[in-house]
């Protein structure tokens, strides 16, 4: 019979608690990847667009957008984890570690940390922890996610259910902050070039920020973006199959909605230098080509960073709605209060420069 020539991926019964899955196909990041990502998101963060600005901050070049790094690592995992998935349900405990640059090669592996058959007996939920690293072995990203998987045989005996305890948030002390940003993030920041004078000091807990600009999702754009990440889940591509699904059409990869949320947030959070962590993410409803998405953010917390006056962190809750630009913040734990047009609830932290240089000069003047 020989070996199988095609890889049909796994179903719920194929996952075992504790199994480690090395993912095939390393991914070298190319300049074209970065340009295409900008083209399909419209992101306007200066650190990813302006090499001179990035180098003044201490980066050796423009770093690759953190969300693009997430997608490229995530894309390594899809054939092994979610090719036969019904849906990707959520994320937790995501940490962004070493910066990624054009020319770096990314690899990934995942470990199964939980399995539970769903009440319908037709599907199950699989929980995994995933890690991505570069050609030097440096971890660039680590996160948890859980997904709903089809069963190959609905009559198969379910595994003993194990639901892992996942972190509610990434602790501030676990953020990976490059030393060069600690040393000069505020002093090297150019408000004019960034397009905003609002720094960490200007945001308060409870502030609500409407990002204003909607983006209509085109069929070609979301397909091109998802292919860029090499996410080959058929639910995003195969209309021949998906015409018979419950929606009757391909759905947008939820990660593309995260990309648009981050891109839209540049209008209101332009000084967001780097994603420090994603605490949690929930895809509340599907999106389709032709939908127009809007985003707004609420500041949940702000913290200085020990040992430096150059930057601080903002914890943000960003919501995305389709075809409705009215800002609303329902209680995250009360799903009954969620309007049907909300598609994403995204809880994350960013690094933002402070006005540290002004504080230092004020102290010097006082001493004088």
CA distance 111 to 135: 20
pLDDT at res. 151: 92
Please give the angle made by the CA atoms of 15, 20 and 26, to the nearest 5 degrees. 115
pLDDT at res. 362: 40
Which residues in the chain land under pLDDT 70?
A: 1, 356-368
pLDDT at res. 356: 60
Question: Between 3.60.20.10, 3.10.129.10, 3.40.720.10, 3.40.640.10, what CATH number should domain 8-29+64-153 receive?
Answer: 3.10.129.10
CA distance 313 to 270: 14
Mapped onto helix, strand or coil, the DSSP state of residue 89 is: strand
pLDDT digits (tens, 9 = 90+) for 159-202: 999 999 999 999 999 999 999 999 999 999 999 999 999 999 99
CA distance 15 to 110: 12
Please answer whether residues 228 and 36 qualify as being in contact, where contact means their C-beta atoms are separated by less than 8 angstroms: yes
> Do the domains at 8-29+64-153 and 175-368 have one common CATH topology?
yes
CA distance 83 to 341: 27
pLDDT at res. 364: 40
Q: Identify the architecture of domain 175-368 in CATH.
A: Roll (3.10)
* DSSP string covering 99-154: ---TT-EEEEEEEEEEEEE-TTSSEEEEEEEEEEE-TTS-EEEEEEEEEEEE-S-T
**What are the domain boundaries of the chain?**
8-29+64-153, 175-368
């Amino acid at each position: 019979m020989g070996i199988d020539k095609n890889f049909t991926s796994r179903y719920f019964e194929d996952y075992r608690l504790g199994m480690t899955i090395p993912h095939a196909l390393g991914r070298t990041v190319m300049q074209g990847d970065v340009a295409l990502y900008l083209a399909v998101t419209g992101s306007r963060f200066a650190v990813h667009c302006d090499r001179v600005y990035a180098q003044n901050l201490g980066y050796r070049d423009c770093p690759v957008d953190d969300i693009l790094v997430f997608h490229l690592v995530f894309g390594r995992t899809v054939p092994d984890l979610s090719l036969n998935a019904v849906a990707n349900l959520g994320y937790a405990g995501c940490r962004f570690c070493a910066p990624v640059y054009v020319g770096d090669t990314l690899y990934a592996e995942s470990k199964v940390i939980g399995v539970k058959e769903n009440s319908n007996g037709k599907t199950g939920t699989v929980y995994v922890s995933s890690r991505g690293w570069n050609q030097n072995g440096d971890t660039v990203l680590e996160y948890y996610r859980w997904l709903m998987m089809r069963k190959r045989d609905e009559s198969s005996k379910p595994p003993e259910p194990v639901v892992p305890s996942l972190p509610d948030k990434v602790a501030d002390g676990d953020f990976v902050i490059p030393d060069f940003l600690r040393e000069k993030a505020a002093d090297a920041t150019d408000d004019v070039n960034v397009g905003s004078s609002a720094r960490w000091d200007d945001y308060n807990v409870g502030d609500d920020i409407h990002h204003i600009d909607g983006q209509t999702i085109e069929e070609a754009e979301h397909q091109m973006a998802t292919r860029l990440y090499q996410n080959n889940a058929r639910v995003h591509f195969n209309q021949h199959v998906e015409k018979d699904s419950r929606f009757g059409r391909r759905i947008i990869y939820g990660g593309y909605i995260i990309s648009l949320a981050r891109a839209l947030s540049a209008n209101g959070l332009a000084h967001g230098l780097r994603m420090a962590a994603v605490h949690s993410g929930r895809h509340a409803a599907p999106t389709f080509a032709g939908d127009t998405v809007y985003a707004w953010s609420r500041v949940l917390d702000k913290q200085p960073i020990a040992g430096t006056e150059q930057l601080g962190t903002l914890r943000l809750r960003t919501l995305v709605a389709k075809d409705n630009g009215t800002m609303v913040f329902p209680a995250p734990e009360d799903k009954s209060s969620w309007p049907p047009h909300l598609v994403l609830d995204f809880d994350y932290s960013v690094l933002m420069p402070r006005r540290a240089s002004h504080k230092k000069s004020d102290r010097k003047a006082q001493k004088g």
